[in-house]
Each structure stands twice: as structure tokens, then as C-alpha cells.
Amino acid sequence: MSEKEKTEGQIKKDELFYSKKSAFELRSPEELGEAKEYAEGYRKFIDAAKNEREAVVYVSALLRDAGYKEYRLGDKIKPGDRLYLNNRNKSLIAIKAGTGKIDDGVRIIASHIDSPRLDLKPNPLYESDGIAYFKTHYYGGIRKYQWATIPLALHGIVRKTDGETVDVRLGDEPGDPVLCITDLLPHLAKDQNQKPLNQAFTGEGLNLLCGSSPYFESDGKITEADDKVKLNIMIALNEKYGIKEADFLSAELFAVPAQNCVDVGLDRWLMGAYGHDDRVCAYPSVTALIDSGDTEKTSIIVLADKEEVGSDGVAGMQSSMLLDLISELASNLGGNSNVIRVNSKCLSADVTVCFDPMYPEVSEKKNSALLHCGIGLTKYTGAGGKGATNDCPAEFLAEVRKVFDDAGVVWQTGELGKVDQGGGGTVAKFIANRNIDTVDVGVPVLSMHAPFELISKLDLYEAHRAFLAFLKY
């Protein structure tokens, strides 16, 4: 319908109502092409970085290529410096010192680079009835049944007492063996089928099958030693990685899906992969920083660990690392850290729920993020009547809306499901608690926390554009 044919009521409706439009409607064919191209860079990252350590390694290399230098607390900082702080190989903070007055505040984008998975226990290896297993302790919010009968890879490090770090990455390359959790056959699942979904699989039952043959002595005979299969696997581990069983105590070994990122759907607009939450926000925050050029405001990109388990510890968002860094900026650039924080602005960049037509009953559609409609802007997360969340003040939300609108970013509102359906939270509150204006933004995800999550290439690209606009304003 042309403008001429519209009634006054229809024109008023267009003017006054908030409506979501998809990026397919709002972006030009060229821009759609750019989004697909951008996604290829992300694909490389998500395949290379299946845990926080690998993300730190990958992002450090990206930043070095862009001229960033490694920084340690206490080093000198001057205007224009491009730096990154590797926090114990588990989290990373990139800094671009601005040219303006530091007391005017900094721009922070904080995301996380850990994802739900199965961690090996400190003493994991055992055998039962001729099969060897690794015992696991799941990390973060998983739906346990989703992790059975899929190929799992093993990623992480073993730190030996002599200081050597052994990198482990097994199961992703073609021809690599994988690990697996078995499940019952339907023929014998009568009792299991009666159990509620959250009880059919137990945490202690998530054991990874990792071998099934005994050790053979040099004369070709099966060993007389006990635990023949465990011994065989321990010898294989010793030959491949030079480790002994006690070394598992100082290891961080994670079972993650062996599947790499693939396009989903014949039109190739969705990407299916493990760990979009939250590396799908971490990656665009880094590319936006690199593309942002010289800015008046100092930019800080935080890639935190431990978000999935409450953000505790030295590499989590609750550690004092960000505050310490702001203190360093203050002392180096002639400011006051209290003043810097009260004038700073932060996007807490974490994935949001994408409305799923298969499960409409858990979301309230008017307030849910929709697929392809851009980055979600979430005033609050939390649960049980907005509990345990940063409920962003309207003033700052309006400011962010304007930044996105002025830059032509495709964005939308998003809420974490229906009231009292469940809920969740992220790092926003830990930053806001430090007197920094903070709002949640993020890419909508289907099947969040599953071994295979889906995101839209369009929403991913809008995240990059949104972050770029935020760093430059």
C-alpha cells in the first residue's frame, strides 16, 4: 500500500507503534552479502575456540595482528595504546586507550567465553566390565540427556609439576577417535521412559567411554595385571601426552561436541555449532574493537570465564581484575577511578532467548527476541519477579537505543521467557554493582546450552554493527 492510500489511522499506527522488522526487510542485498561474509570469520573462531583457553589464544592472535601488545597490570599506559591482558589463559581484557579525558568514562563490552560442557573429574579414569571410562562433573546448565550418543571431543590442558603444559585437543580432526556417553536401547527403556526428563540421566551417569581393549604384554599375551583396559588407555595417554594418572589432578579437560560449525537450512542463514553462548557475542566485540579505529573514549573488551557457573574466581566477572585495570587507567592517564566508573557505559553482551515456534508456550511473543530481527536489547533478566538481575535504568536504555538507531543497527527487545517460567542471568549485575551503567544485549539463540545451538548470521552481523556504534559514540 502506498503512503497515499493509507488512512490517517494507519499512518498514525506506523508512527506510534513499535514493531519488529527482520534484517531481511531492512538490509540491502549488499548488506545481506556482507553479513554472510562476516559469518565466515566467526566460523573459523567458533571451530578453533571450543573453550575459554582456546578463545584466549585465538583472540590474542587476532589482536596481535591488529597491532595490540600484551599488557600486564603495572605496565605503563598512554593515550592511543592498544593492549590486551591475558588473565591466566582463562579470560582476556583488550584495551584501546582513548585520546580524550579518562574521567569522562570508558566504553565496556563484556561477554563470556566459557560454555556448558562436561569436565573430567580430578581422578577420572576407571574401568568396568572391560570398558574404560572417564568420570565427569558437568559444567554449567546442561540438559543431561542431550549429551548422550553424540561424538564428543576432549579439549584442554594438563599441567605437570615440572611446569610443562600439555595441550589436549582430541576428536575434531578427520580420523581422530572420539569419546561417547551411551544410552539405553528403546527395547529396554521401559523403566527409564517413566522417569521425568531431569531424572532419566544423572550427573554421576555421564561417564565417557574411552577404551575397550586390554593391555598386551610384549610376548603378545594379555597382561595378568588388574584393570587391564584402564592400563591400556593410561599407557596410550602416557605415550601421546607424557602424562601419568596423578597429572589429571592438575588438568582442565573438557568433553565438548566433536561437531564443527555447519550451516543449517537450505538457504544457509543459520549456523549450528557448540558454544555460540557466548562466543557469538565475544567475537563481534573483538572485531568491533579492531574496526573502531582511534576514538576519544577508551574502549575495554572483557572476555570473561566462569559465567556459566556464577562468575566466581580469578577469571570470572566477579574478580577485581576489571576494577584493577580501571585503577591503572586512572593512575596512568590522570584520572580518578571512582569518577571513571560513574561516567562509564557498559554493554553486557550475552546471548538471549530466541522465540522458538516449536515451544511458543515458554515465551511471551511480544517481548521475545525473534530470529533475524537483530541484536536483542534486554532491560533485565533474572527470575521470580526480576530477582538477581541488573534492571537497567531507563535513562541508559534510551541512550543505547539512540546510539543503535543513529547507526542504523537492527535491534529488538528481548526478555528471558514468560514471567515465572524460569529465568537466568549474566555478568551485567556484577558490572552494574561497581557503579557502571550497564545493559544486556545479545544475539538470539535457538536450543541454548544444547551441544548444537543455532544462531542467525544476520543477528551476528548486527551484533558487530551494534558494538562498533557503541565503541565509537
Binding site for Mn ion (CB under 5 A): 277-278, 350
Query: Smallest distance, Å, CB 442 to Mn ion?
Result: 8
Q: Which is nearer to Mn ion, 210 or 302 (CB)?
A: 302
Q: Which is nearer to Mn ion, 119 or 277 (CB)?
A: 277
Cα 342 to Cα 52: distance, rounded to the nearest angstrom = 30
Q: Which is nearer to Mn ion, 247 or 278 (CB)?
A: 278
Q: Which is nearer to Mn ion, 66 or 309 (CB)?
A: 309
Query: Smallest distance, Å, CB 159 to Mn ion?
Result: 26
Contact 445, 280 (CB under 8 A): yes
Contact 325, 298 (CB under 8 A): no
Query: Smallest distance, Å, CB 449 to Mn ion?
Result: 6
Contact 54, 168 (CB under 8 A): no
Query: Smallest distance, Å, CB 445 to Mn ion?
Result: 9
Q: Which is nearer to Mn ion, 208 or 450 (CB)?
A: 450
Q: Which is nearer to Mn ion, 54 or 278 (CB)?
A: 278
Query: Smallest distance, Å, CB 424 to Mn ion?
Result: 7
Q: Is 132 exposed, middle or buried (0-12, 13-18, 19+ CB in 10 A)?
A: buried
Query: Smallest distance, Å, CB 464 to Mn ion?
Result: 18
Query: Smallest distance, Å, CB 15 to Mn ion?
Result: 36
Q: Which is nearer to Mn ion, 180 or 446 (CB)?
A: 446
Q: Which is nearer to Mn ion, 132 or 353 (CB)?
A: 353
Query: Smallest distance, Å, CB 88 to Mn ion?
Result: 20
Contact 155, 54 (CB under 8 A): yes
Query: What is the 3-class SS of the chain, one letter each residue?
Result: CCHHHCCHHHHHHHHHCCCCCCHHHHCCHHHHHHHHHHHHHHHHHHHHCCCHHHHHHHHHHHHHHCCCEECCCCCCCCCCCEEEEEECCCEEEEEECCCCCHHHCEEEEEEECCCCEEEEEEEEEEEECCEEEEEEEEECCCCHHHHCCCCEEEEEEEECCCCCEEEEEECCCCCCCCEECCCCCHHHCHHHHCCCHHHHCCHHHCCEEEECCCCECCCCCECCCCCHHHHHHHHHHHHHHCCCHHHHHHEEEEEEECCCCEEECCCCCEEEECCHHHHHHHHHHHHHHHHCCCCCCEEEEEEECCHHHCCCCCCCCCCCHHHHHHHHHHHHHCCCHHHHHHCCEEEEECCEEECCCCCHHHCCHHHCECCCCCEEEECCCEECCCECCCCCCHHHHHHHHHHHHHCCCCEEECCCCCCCCCEECCCHHHHHCCCCEEEEEECEEECCCCCCEEEEHHHHHHHHHHHHHHHHC
Q: Which is nearer to Mn ion, 234 or 346 (CB)?
A: 346
Query: Smallest distance, Å, CB 441 to Mn ion?
Result: 12
Contact 412, 23 (CB under 8 A): no
Query: Smallest distance, Å, CB 38 to Mn ion?
Result: 21
Q: Which is nearer to Mn ion, 277 or 462 (CB)?
A: 277
Residue sitting closest to Mn ion (CB): 278
Q: Which is nearer to Mn ion, 24 or 359 (CB)?
A: 359
Query: Smallest distance, Å, CB 343 to Mn ion?
Result: 27
Query: Smallest distance, Å, CB 359 to Mn ion?
Result: 17
Q: Which is nearer to Mn ion, 97 or 441 (CB)?
A: 441
